[in-house]
Amino acid sequence: MIFGANYVPADYYREYIADTFLGGASTSQFSINYRGSGFGTPYELGEFKVPKYRLDSLTFGKGSFTRSASEVILAALNNRTMKVNMPGPEGPDGKPTKVLDVEETDSANAKIQEIRNGFEDWLALPKNSAKVKVIADNYNRLYNRTIPTEYKTNFVEPVGCTIDFRPHQKEAIARGLLGDDLLLDHSPGLGKTYILTGLAMEMKRTGLAQKTLLICMKANVQDIAKDFLKAYPNANILCPSEADFAKKNRHTFLNRIKTNSYDCVILSHDQYCKLRHSEAAVERVVDEYFADYENVLAEKRKRLEEDPYASNAKTIANEIRQLEKARETFVTNINSANNGNTKNPKDPITFEELGFDKIMVDESHQFKNLKFVTGLEQVSGLGSAAGSSKALMLLLGVRSIQHVNGGDRGVVFASGTPIVNSLVEMYNQIKYLKPSYLEMVDQRSVDAWLGQCGIISTETEITALMKTQDVTRV
């Protein structure tokens, strides 16, 4: 169990901390409030009137660099680590500086880890058996409410198909027809291409799709088109050559897509990224990210207002300015990616005008680096928060298709390696395919998701120069 999980009532955390670390202080002397995942740090302390003599083991640092017991408790609840500074030498401008107090920082983070690790032992006490049942019920209601569905395949009738689908391929096609957005995490050689082919044609046969877009690696475009026609010789598909999609011919080609009812259109990843999206599509994604920015900014502004003279006040103020600038830059970047530049503007026909109501992405891990907004500072293992422009372009298309289908439907990803480097790539897969699920379990932001599914800790590691340093990672 992750300490700070949202399926544990906040009063249980309060009682545990009072019993274990505050010398049995009354729970009426402080309160813990869960504000929801819309905030960078979902937990906050209400009134904190615990007698000072009970706080010594949770207080670190000296003078203006003291980190209070309440800060340590909140860091444990919100899956954060802590840094304690001390006065340093004067800087070039003659002003005092601050440096990291390694000993106090290590002690503070050890105490945070002690708070987090001891919760399960406390719950195991006989007096808390009723609490365990409540927590289990809450967890099951949120995360353990479904079982893997076994899909019958007797209704999958590949009319006009010249190949025999294997059982797992038919099950995947049935899943795509009956379920929501889908990730085909199949190893190489298991026939993902034929699954996508069969699913596209079955969706057309059953009326679930009018026109499907399949995007794949540039090197595979022609091979996939050949496999498609091998399986369905009478399929009405469109697969452009490089000349068809050249700038001078692109407008004509896009008009062909727009005015014809193809079973499937096959484009390369690069060709897809050359499509423009409507202003409404861009606005939807901008609003999504602006909500994330505003949540993180609101949290940092609140911290600054509560203690404008804190030792890290300047750092927080600088982080606020950087986030505000990043928010403005994001708008510029998404408009630039969507419209192209003045020398090479994109065609005025938008993706939304082409009539697609389903999108399939082969080798979807190529779009794994989706931009995310986080309030975490100097944490390794998250990947690049800036993301890539092509991942942002895919998100525009995915959200447009989901908008057309009225929910988490119409999108299929296929990859043998959906997660490659970082834990955040797992979150990105869910963000693409299951945004309503993240909403349901109150994990709308990557910080909230990590708070329920990951652990952030500070450990001493050896650098390439054979020196030790403290590294915070997820």
pLDDT value at position 465? 75
pLDDT value at position 88? 84
Q: Which two tokens stand for residue 132?
A: 């365990």
Compute the distance between CA of residue 233 and CA of residue 223 in angstroms, rounded to an integer.
14
Compute the distance between CA of residue 452 and CA of residue 7 in angstroms, rounded to an integer.
9
Q: Which two tokens stand for residue 49?
A: 């009137």
pLDDT value at position 313? 76
Q: Parallel, antiparallel, or unpaired: how do β-strands 182-184 and 85-90 relate? A: unpaired
pLDDT value at position 39? 60
Across the strands, what pairs with 340?
345
Compute the distance between CA of residue 331 and CA of residue 234 in angstroms, rounded to an integer.
44
* Tokens 């389903």 sit on residue: 358
* Strand residues in 276-391 grouped as ranges (E): 358-362
- Residue 468 burial (10 A CB sphere; 0-12, 13-18, 19+): exposed
* Stated pTM of the model: 0.85
* pLDDT (tens place) for every residue of the chain, 474 residues total: 788 888 999 999 999 988 888 877 777 788 888 877 656 678 888 777 787 777 888 888 887 788 888 889 988 998 888 888 888 887 787 777 888 888 898 899 899 999 999 999 999 999 999 999 999 999 999 888 888 888 888 888 888 999 999 999 999 999 999 988 899 998 888 899 999 999 999 999 999 999 999 999 999 999 999 999 999 999 999 999 888 898 899 999 999 999 999 999 999 999 999 999 999 999 999 999 999 999 888 888 887 887 676 666 777 888 889 999 999 999 999 999 999 877 788 999 999 999 999 999 999 999 999 999 988 877 888 888 899 999 999 999 999 999 999 999 999 999 999 988 888 999 999 999 999 998 888 888 888 888 888 877 777 777 777 777 777 787
Q: Which of 86, 38, 34 is nearest to 63 (CA)?
A: 86
Q: How many CB atoms lie within 10 A of CB 38?
A: 16
Q: How many CB atoms lie within 10 A of CB 146?
A: 6
* Whether the Cβ atoms of residue 24 and residue 18 lie closer than 8 Å to each other: yes
* Whether the Cβ atoms of residue 264 and residue 228 lie closer than 8 Å to each other: yes
Compute the distance between CA of residue 280 and CA of residue 265 in angstroms, rounded to an integer.
23
Q: Which of 221, 157, 163 is nearest to 191 (CA)?
A: 163
Distances (CA, A) of 264 to 80, 155, 390, 399, 406: 48, 22, 22, 19, 21
For residue 372, the SS3 value is: coil
Can you say how many angstroms the Cα of residue 78 is from the centroid of all Cα atoms in its chain?
A: 17
pLDDT value at position 309? 62
